[in-house]
Amino acid sequence: MGRVSFRLAFIPALVFFVLALIFWRGLFGDPSLVPSALIGKLAPEFKLPSIEGLNLPGLSRSDLGGGKVTVVNVWASWCAPCRTEHPVLLELSKRTDIQLVGIDNKDDPENARRFLGTLGNPYAAIGADVDGRATIDWGTYGVPETFIVDGQGIIRYKLIGGLTADFLNKGFTAEIEKAKLPLK
C-alpha cells in the first residue's frame, strides 16, 4: 500500500511539470516553428470585401496564384507587432517579382484607414475579415502572420509573428525564392 501511495504522490508533480513545460515553450519558444497543416495545400476558399472607404480592391482566393508568388499578411490596426513589422512590409512591397496583399483581421475600418494613412500602404489589395472567419480558415493563431503562396495558389510557408528586417534579408527571402520553384 505504501508503494502505491508513493507513486500516486508523484502524479500531481508530473502533471505540473508537463504543464510548466508547455507554458515555458509557449512563452519562450520560437512561435514560427509551429507547424501548419496548410503547407503544401491550396489556399482556403475565401472572398473578402475591401476596407470600407479605402480605394483598394478586396481579396479572394482567385487573386492568389496566376503564376506569381503572393505574400499574404494578416494584420490589424490594433496589433502592436503589426506596427513594428510595417516598415519591413513597405520594403518588401518594392519587389516586382511578388505581390503583397493583406487580410485585415477584426478591425474597425476607420482605424485601418488611419493606420495605413499614417504608416503607408504596402498592399496591392486588402480583404476586410470583419468576423475573423477567413483568418480561421487560414489557420492563424493571431496577428501578425504572413504566408507565402506560390504561383499555383499553394501555401508554401507560414510565419507566425512579425516579420523583421533581419529575417526578411535571410530566411524569408529564401522562402520566396523556394516558392518560385515547382513543388517536389
Query: For all residues of the chain together, what is the average pLDDT?
Result: 88
CA distance 7 to 11: 7
The pLDDT tens digits of the residues spanning 135-162 come to 999 999 899 999 999 999 999 999 999 9
CB neighbour class for 151 (10 Å; exposed up to 12, middle 13-18, buried from 19): middle
Tally Cβ neighbours within 10 Å of residue 64.
24
SS3 57: coil
Whether 81 shows a pLDDT value over 80: the answer reads yes
Q: How many CA atoms lie within 13 A of 86 on its CB side?
A: 18
Report which of 146, 104, 101, 103 is spatially closest to residue 124, judged by C-alpha positions. Answer: 101
* Alpha helices, DSSP H, located in 62-108: 80-92
CA distance 37 to 53: 35
What mean pLDDT comes out for the span 37-57? Answer: 95
In this structure, what C-alpha cell is assigned to residue 103?
A: 487580410
